[in-house]
A and B are shown apart, each in its own frame.
Chain A
Amino acid sequence: MIDQSYLRRFLLPALLLAAVYACALAAIVQYAFRTFVPGSLEVGPPTLHNLARLVDPLYARVFGDSLLIGLYTAAATLLVGYPLAYALVRTPSRALRSALFVVAITPLFTGEIVRTYAWLNVLGANGFINRILLWSGLIGQPLELMFTTLGVCIALVHFSLPVMVMILAAALAHVDPRYERAAATLGAGPLRRFALITLPLSMPGVVSGFVTIFAWTLSAFATPQLIGGGRVTMISNLVYQLGFASFNFPFAAALSLAAILLTVLLLALLRWSQARVDRMAVHA
């Protein structure tokens, strides 16, 4: 056990960094309380007008849409990521394991810009998917994938997958295979073993992965911007459109502040749910 006084030394760099970060956020958030002057980059006297404007139902809707897209994406990433993580952890073949790992992690190594442009090529009316489906005769008309929530989610899931797989794989690696073998010896079928042993024991990873991806997706910008084509608007796109691109710093700051407050709420939720699941896992 490291004693508390020794621990305190570790705190300093993080506190310093947190302070600089807080200053940076304060530098932008202060604009939320200033008056917007059209046609100028200067801001006017203090005001609460920017915050009052946030109650417009449009903004509530965009926030709501963003939460929904976050939920869809997190759920889909979980469904896609779980089998991959499971295969990664449980495959006996070293070569196969390496190959799966490389596949799972590579999307992390291609930047936002490249990845999004790649998806334009895959999802477009003349893109890969539509070409294949039209050619095979399965569809007569190109599918609408670009500029739809579905298209945005497909790309967001891909983006989030490496992180999800790592979180899940870490959790699954903790599930001792001997429990499953013991259950098999006792006559439990594979589905039963999964439902009663593996899944419950990996729950901390499932919750952590889900919340991480959900929160991560909420701040997505480039993907909804390019693949949504203005038809799918998330919080960041709204801030960019209404604030930075129309030179209305004060309102952009007000929207950002609202997003940050939402974040604080989410983090509280994350800690609460994780604590609960951790307890359940211990009891299981």
Chain B
Amino acid sequence: MRKSVTAAALAAVLAVGSLQAARAETLLVSSWGGSWQEMIAKTIGKKFTETTGAKVEFVTGGTIDRLNKAKLAAGDPETDITLTTSHVGWLYQSSGLFETLDYARIPNAAKIFPEARISPGHVGVWSYVYTIGYRKDLLPEGLTFDSWEDLWSPKMKGLLGLPDFDPSHIIAVSAILSGADPQHWEKGQDKLLALKPSIKAFYTNDASSQQMMSSGETPVQILLSGNAFYQMGQGVDLALVIPKEGAVIGIDAIGIMKGTKKSELAYKFIDAAFDPEVQAEIASFKKLGPMVEGAPVDPAIARLPGVFTTAEQWKEQAIVIDHKLRAEKLGEWKQWFTEHMIAQ
């Protein structure tokens, strides 16, 4: 009897497995879930379907989880396209997971900012900043954030929240404030250690950042600009500042998976992403910066801090950590940060 139960169960597993037969003309896109998926579907995906008639299906997950899965599936990718963060894209690139991009097949990419060309295999599609955001109603008297240096103020004691998944921002800033650069980040270690009294907690994702900000648990955070704008929209009394040293830029990028059988459609998808109208829609949807110069971004969006629409803004307000350096150093940074800042 036990045997027949096992056999029936196996049969059920197989039957369900065979239901996954691929549908024709569907482009599989790996991206973050939730509102990101929604945004990509309603902007790039919509345009792509209009021009090609093909559908888009998403495989969603966290940046790291998708990277690990993609690496294990090298040569037989689950998806045709991957959207990921610029420096993590370098790990795809150096592990041979991306195809080399042929820009001749992406006409709309002619006007992209030079910062968008990240590696031969991936190209930036939108930008944002990680910078200082604070609760106006909960800030101690006399505390302002003209400079990143203000995070070290004694008034900041026990107020700061930082992301635990990526310490690059504060490491780069500490290096710069110590007269060095991200390449020579060790020079900023003492500065980092001196920040510890200010730190209250670390958040694990955007949702927990929101939770900790809206509850007042950490009234000052280094956080994603789009995340801050979202909270303002929900009525949280939040302000976002770009300190005089600039804000740490983040770029999300797109690449074609090596081994895809839908290379033609994949290029069409990337081209749709750089359509100026689509770039403007992306900017409005999540208050992100476009990567195409001259995209018709709503002026109300373009005015927001951290939304860069001109080459000058990139020059004056952005701290760009070299993406390849960041990919190589991230392990070392995280380890040092975990050992000396988090787990102490």
Contact = CB atoms under 8 A, between A and B. Distances in A.
Tell me if chains A and B make direct contact, with any CB pair below 8 A. yes
B335 A39 contact: no
Given A39-B91, A230-B164, A246-B330, A147 B71 contact: no
Given A40-B91, A233-B343, A146 B330 contact: no
A126 B215 CA distance: 5
B2 to A, nearest CB: 8
Interface in A35-51: 36, 38-42
Contacts of B68: 244
A58 B215 contact: no
Interface in B184-237: 200-204, 208, 211-212, 215-217
Interface stretch (B148-156, B260-268, B276-284, B321-329): B321-329
Among A40, A225, A238, A251, the one with the most B-chain Cβ atoms within 10 Å of its Cβ is A40
A124 B91 contact: no
A270 interface: no
A229 B90 contact: no
B281 to A, nearest CB: 31
Nearest to B70: A41
B94 interface: yes
A220 interface: no
A127 B215 contact: yes
A41 B328 CA distance: 10
A13 B6 contact: yes
B201 A147 contact: yes
Question: What size tier do the contact residues of chain B reach?
Answer: 35 or more
A124 B343 contact: no
A62 B339 CA distance: 10
A41 B91 contact: yes
Contact of A40 (B95, B201, B216): B95
B103 interface: no
Contacts of A244: 64, 68
Nearest to A126: B215
Interface residues of A, number: 33
Interface in B75-113: 90-91, 94-95
Nearest to B325: A39
A120 B213 CA distance: 13
A31 to B, nearest CB: 12
A62 B343 contact: yes
A241 B216 contact: no
B117 interface: no
B342 interface: yes
Contact of A120 (B2, B6, B64, B211): B211
Interface in A126-173: 126-127, 146-147
Among B71, B90, B324, the one with the most A-chain Cβ atoms within 10 Å of its Cβ is B71
**10 cross-chain pairs, A with B, having the tightest CB-CB distances, nearest first:** A230-B202, A39-B328, A229-B201, A246-B334, A246-B331, A126-B215, A41-B95, A41-B71, A124-B215, A241-B338
15 contacts: A13-B2, A13-B6, A41-B67, A41-B91, A58-B339, A125-B217, A127-B215, A147-B217, A229-B202, A230-B202, A230-B204, A230-B342, A238-B338, A245-B334, A248-B331
Given A13-B2, A56-B339, A233-B342, 8 more contacts: A39-B324, A58-B339, A226-B204, A230-B164, A230-B201, A241-B164, A244-B64, A246-B335
